[in-house]
């Protein structure tokens, strides 16, 4: 089952990004999922599934948004336990 989220925005917002309505909608969807991943609210697997990408493609997409996929705190904890 799918849900639809409607976001109201002025026309000039998409225009200022040189995007049409469809491109802007896709950008908002991607940006939201990237941010939810960055905040630890969803997994990369969930985000990639929603975007219909492979997990690797989603992880590569994170670079475009300057978002890392390694959790530094988890790495430090692993190093301390090694």
pLDDT value of position 46: 95
Contacts of residue 68, defined as CB under 8 A and 6 or more positions apart, other chains included, come to 62
pLDDT value of position 76: 55
pLDDT value of position 73: 58
Contact 50, 33 (CB under 8 A): yes
pTM summary value: 0.80
For the chain, give every domain's residue range. 11-81
pLDDT in tens, 34-78: 999 999 999 999 999 999 999 999 999 999 999 988 765 555 555
pLDDT in tens, 16-34: 999 999 999 999 999 999 9
> Could you write out the DSSP letters of every residue in 11-36?
HHHHHHTT--HHHHHHHHHHHHHHHH
């Amino acid at each position: 089952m799918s849900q639809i989220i409607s976001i109201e925005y002025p026309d000039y917002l998409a225009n200022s990004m040189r995007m049409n309505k469809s491109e802007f909608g896709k950008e908002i969807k991607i940006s939201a999922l990237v941010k939810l991943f960055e905040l630890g609210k969803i997994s990369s697997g969930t985000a990639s599934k929603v975007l219909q990408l492979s997990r690797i493609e989603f992880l590569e997409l994170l670079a475009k948004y300057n978002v890392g996929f390694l959790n530094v705190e988890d790495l430090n904890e692993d190093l301390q336990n090694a």
